Amino acid sequence: MLRRFSFALRPGWVLFHLFVAAAVVTMILLGRWQLRVSEDKHFSIQNFGYAIQWWLFSAFALFVWWRALRDASRRRAGAPDEVDATSAEPERGPDEPVAYRRYVMPTAAKSDDPVLSAYNDYLARLNAQDAEETT
């Protein structure tokens, strides 16, 4: 388990750990201060809400820190991510739509409108000219 997170002892990561620790301690102290202000104002609900808010911010900072460590350790271990849409799908040809996060963009249906067809033909010609210029 410790070998998995040995990368976290590098200087950049240590600075990240120290920053998160300082931010969490600061937010906890700010929450305690807001709670004291709330008590001084005979339990002001506004200040009590701010106290809860500061503690939730500190919990969120710890959550982000944990996720960053976990994701970095998985990347270094070479393990696939939890959701990998490309690994479960077969090979595609160049004209087939590519699923991005399991959403396939719908293809345009053929239209009987002559103006729309002329415009699409114009765009196709421009695309072909652009492709010729880049090669």
- Tell me which residue has tokens 């906890």: 28
Q: Report domain extents, the chain.
A: 6-77
Q: Is residue 87 scored above 70 in pLDDT?
A: no
Give the CA diameter of the chain.
76
pLDDT, residue 6, reads 85
Report whether pLDDT(82) > 70.
Answer: no
Mean pLDDT of 96-102: 60
Mean pLDDT over residues 39-48, rounded? 91
CB 5 within 8 A of CB 73: yes
Higher-pLDDT residue of 58 and 105 is: 58
Q: Which two tokens stand for residue 9?
A: 């002892």
Whether pTM exceeds 0.85 = no
Indicate the range of 13-27, 73-87, 102-116 predicted with least confidence. 73-87
